[in-house]
Structure 1
Amino acid sequence: MNKKIVELKNKLGLSRASFAKALDISPSQMARIEAGKVVLSDEFLLKVCGTFHVNPSFFTGEIDIDEAVSVVSPEEKKKQVGNRLKQMRMEKGLTLKELSDLVGLSDSQLCLIENGESNLTEKRAVDIVEALEVGVEWLLYGDEEKKYFPLNEKMAQWLWNHPEVREQIWKMMEDC
Structure 2
Amino acid sequence: MLMRDRPLVILAAALSLAATSKPTRLAEPSYLPDATASRVVTVTEAGAAHAGITVLTEAVAIKETGPRATVSRFGEVYAFSPAFVAVHRDEPTEISFWNLQPDDDHDFMLVGPDAQVLMKVLLPALRKTIYVFTFHDEGLFTFYCTMHQPEMSGQSLVLPSQSGSALTLAPPPAAAR
Provide the TM-score with structure 1 as the length reference.
Answer: 0.25
Bigger relative CO (Cα 8 Å, ≥ 6 apart): 2
**Bigger helix fraction:** 1
**Bigger strand fraction:** 2
